[in-house]
Amino acid sequence: MTEPSTVVAQPLHDRVAIVTGGSRGIGRAISFHLASLGAKIVINYSSNSAEADLVATQINTNTTNDSPRAITFQADVSDPDQVKSLFDAAESAFNSQPHILVNSAGVLDPKYPTLFNTEIDDFDKIFRVNARGAFVCCREAANRLRHGGGGRIVCLTSSMAAALRPGFAAYAASKAAVEAMVKVLAKELKGTGITANCVAPGPIATEMFFAGKTEEAVRKVVEECPLSRLGEPGDVAPVVGFLASDASEWVNGQVVRVNGGYV
């Protein structure tokens, strides 16, 4: 057993973190939080460069270092070649291989159709981004981090994978697939010093959550929450920060449900 260590003000000092979907919603909050812990951030985005640039600018404005501590990089997380380029860009920008991968990129069909009304194209899109995207990024991270003395992989899933509500068959299945995959990955990475975990948020007040919902639908969700409110992205980011730090080295292959008791 190791002796208790002194609390470090910046537990992620100079570690390089890739945050997919890091410019919006929960991913945006994670980017800011990891930066506040001292990490250098690669903000991955799929289409809106202005949002990503704003996050990077705000992080870099708040640093006392002359060198940028955040960069942006556009990549489709489901494309292995683009993901390889994402990791290469991180290494080139910060002269270090990444230490942390946070898979936050995800999509949800705002129509909330039943399984028997879900179009194949919509199903494929959800699985391409949520499940295939996580697989591609985890594979790239595992292959790089296992030669570098360890690291952290954190995948954002959803408490809907446990709540299993009507209208979310494809989405819940895609997130459940990621949870199973990460649990297996944690075992496959035995002896590498890499941990792999999932964070499964409940209903969080983001653009993706509100899309397609009426005020009445939102009110009903709030009524089902024991804390009588929606979660905020800032409720999730510190949990990811913990799993990305050395303090979580004995947490591996787990799904941490950050949902205020919703599930």
Task: Give the position of tokens 């954002």.
Answer: 156
In terms of phi and psi (left: phi > 0; alpha: psi -120 to 50; beta: otherwise), the region of 261 is left
* From 45, 112, 171, 262, active-site residue: 171
Task: Give the position of tokens 């035995």.
Answer: 190
Task: Retrieve residue 41's tokens.
Answer: 């951030």
In 82-138, DSSP assigns E strands to 100-103
Give the span between the Cα atoms of 169 and 177, in whole angstroms.
12
- Phi and psi dihedrals of 187, rounded to 5? -75, -35
Q: Is 45 a catalytic residue?
A: no
Give the span between the Cα atoms of 29 and 43, in whole angstroms.
11
Task: Retrieve residue 115's tokens.
Answer: 């399984």
DSSP for 61-88 reads HT-SSSS-SEEEEE--TT-HHHHHHHHH
Q: Diameter of the chain by CA atoms?
A: 57
Instruction: Enumerate the β-bridge partners of residue 200.
Output: 257
For residues 30 and 102, is the Cβ–Cβ distance under 8 A?
yes
Residues forming the active site: 171
